[in-house]
Amino acid sequence: PRYRRVKAYLAQVEGEPVPESLQALASGIKLKDGPTLPANVIQVDEPSWLWPRDPPIRVRKNIPTRWLRLQIREGRNRQVRRMTAAIGHPTLRLVRIKIGDWSLEGLQPGEYRLL
């Protein structure tokens, strides 16, 4: 955390975030342990390359889900989950896709890359 590397996440959240909710994330959220730095956040389509979760997330027919791509510079405990919960959209699934220059791009489940 002290090096403040950019970390990118894909988060599947419950409900459909409105632009004001996404703007709140982009401005920084006030959590119990203090305010967060602003996050880069965009709504994205479900990634086609993402492996199925085992066990699957809970599915509710009446509540839609959306995927967000977030980039943060901090590394607090469960920070992304707490941020999305603070705007009223709990995280159902979370995948860290990038830390600094290292990313999952081009890797299949179970594959690895020597650094």
Q: How far apart are CA 109 and CA 91, in angstroms?
A: 22
Q: What pLDDT does residue 110 have?
A: 85
Q: What pLDDT does residue 37 have?
A: 92
Q: What pLDDT does residue 2 have?
A: 66
Q: How far apart are CA 69 and CA 95, in angstroms?
A: 10
Q: What pLDDT does residue 42 have?
A: 95
Q: How far apart are CA 9 and CA 70, in angstroms?
A: 5
Tokens representing residue 79 in the block: 């920070």
Whether cis (ω within 30° of 0) applies to the bond prior to 55 is yes
Q: What pLDDT does residue 41 have?
A: 96
Q: What is the pTM of this model?
A: 0.87
Q: What pLDDT does residue 1 have?
A: 60
Burial of 76 (0-12, 13-18, 19+ CB in 10 A): middle
Low-confidence ranges of the chain (pLDDT < 70): 1-3
C-alpha distances (whole Å) from 24 to each of 6, 27, 36, 39, 53 are 19, 5, 11, 9, 29
Q: What pLDDT does residue 8 have?
A: 96
